[in-house]
Amino acid sequence: MGDIMERMYNIKRKEVINIRDGARLGFVSDVVLDEKNGQVKYFIVPAPTKLSCIFSTREYRISWCDVKVLGEDYLLIDADPKMLLSDRKNNRHTD
């Protein structure tokens, strides 16, 4: 179990970059796993806000299938920027 926790800690230290538009989205804050099979469903990256509010409800959700490279310090993804942003409060995507 310690190995899994170490891997999760290392994932959270990676910067996420979208190769589709070159945007630097930020750093992984959490990983959501599929309860049935334990596989990664998506990564959560807090979306920046104008006030950098710690209680922001907007986040990027990066699906595992969008990950192209899992590097030592970064996660390169290829995803439609409009499909990444979601609202935690309503658990839905926003534009």
Model confidence over 13-37: pLDDT tens digits? 899 999 999 999 999 998 888 889 9
Cα 88 to Cα 57: distance, rounded to the nearest angstrom? 5
Structural domain tally of the chain? 1
Q: What tens digit of pLDDT does each residue of 37-65 get?
A: 988 899 999 987 766 555 557 899 999 99
Answer whether residue 95 is part of any domain: no
Domain that holds residue 57: 2-87
Q: How many angstroms separate the Cα of 28 from the Cα of each of 10, 12, 17?
A: 10, 5, 11
The model's pTM: 0.75
Which CATH number does the domain housing residue 37 bear? 2.30.30.240
